[in-house]
Structure 1
């Protein structure tokens, strides 16, 4: 298998995979034995071949993958109008603290944030696959230690923790997130007023001699309000 043929095979494998593929797996596609550096050289060359296209080949924490370039994502979103989940400032702050200070306990997070951290916030991050328990601290109560996952790096299109933006940049992103949420609330359209009710018809006089049937009032059962319209995770992440 020559180099060009190997690139074609790698291209097919990466384009059809729904997950990043590590070099250890991609090496199985070659007819000849290649070490990690040799395989990475072929992958880097393949990435160069895709320069100027709508998709790009890059390396993240879990391996190599093709993805749409950020500048075309806004157009692709038209094919999938479902909006991605939005997370509260409290959730994003908690994630940032774990990312930069890991491993940390819930108490550590609360000391840094200066406010209590609800269990639902941590559950949201765990459910999303961004945070996991990596052990316990040798302290009274054996508090759990939290750290970020490869999934978080993959979702942020990062290869390693050192690729994370600075704390100042994280702060700016959090402020932007809050400002956008506030803008969406203030720009919400005014509710449409209900149409005016039709005037009630004038009462009709009934002769005293007329026989008027009277029916017993019905006792319809009424249900209690449904409550918060979102799921338990969404309701919790909306709080701080």
Structure 2
């Protein structure tokens, strides 16, 4: 199998997938070594740039997915002009920012930092699969520990936690990412569109 053929297979797989595909999964599906997949992705992105295509293969949350370039976001967004992304409420974003930097962290610790009950935001974040239970704290009562998930990385368009901004800038970063994928990063061309539904921000505390 030539490199061109491998690249075409990788492109077809990414086009058909509705979630990011990991390097190992792409290698398994294509029947090639991981290095060959990386080379194929690099070749595809070079070809896309050379031919002026409006999308690229982007690595996010330890996987790869096709994304449109930010310059063309306004036209893609118009395709969904009657729908809106499910935006997180400010309390949910506040709790998410705390968890992202303090993880693993318990609910009492979150509430100590916020000064208010955080049951609603935590439940919302769990339902959205942006956080997960990471065991119990070794203390009386054994409260649950919470940490972010791969979906958190995918949703906010980052590859790993090291891509997060400084702690003091994190909440604003999450708000901007949540409000518009085209202002701060690439807009998805192919992938899950759960966020493109007709809902308003949830009314949690």
Give 1:41's aligned residue.
39
Cα 1:174/1:117, change in 2 over 3 Å: farther
Give 1:12's aligned residue.
12
How far apart are residue 56 of structure 1 and its match? Answer: 1.4
Give 1:213's aligned residue.
none
Larger Rg: 1
Cα 1:38/1:117, change in 2 over 3 Å: farther
Give 1:234's aligned residue.
202
TM-score calculated relative to the size of structure 1: 0.68
Between the two structures, name the one with larger relative contact order (CA 8 Å, sep ≥ 6).
2
**Is the CA contact 1:57–1:66 (under 8 Å) kept in the aligned structure 2?**
yes
**Is the CA contact 1:50–1:57 (under 8 Å) kept in the aligned structure 2?**
no
Q: How many residues align?
A: 180
Cα 1:41/1:88, change in 2 over 3 Å: same
Deviations 1:77-124 (A, max 9, x none): 2121211123222111100110111000011112222x1233111010
How far apart are residue 25 of structure 1 and its match? Answer: 1.5
Gaps of 5+ in 1: 178-230
Give 2:127's aligned residue.
127
Give 1:96's aligned residue.
97
Give 1:25's aligned residue.
25
Gaps of 5+ in 2: 178-198
| Bigger share in helix | 2
TM-score calculated relative to the size of structure 2: 0.79
RMSD: 2.2
How far apart are residue 29 of structure 1 and its match? Answer: 3.9
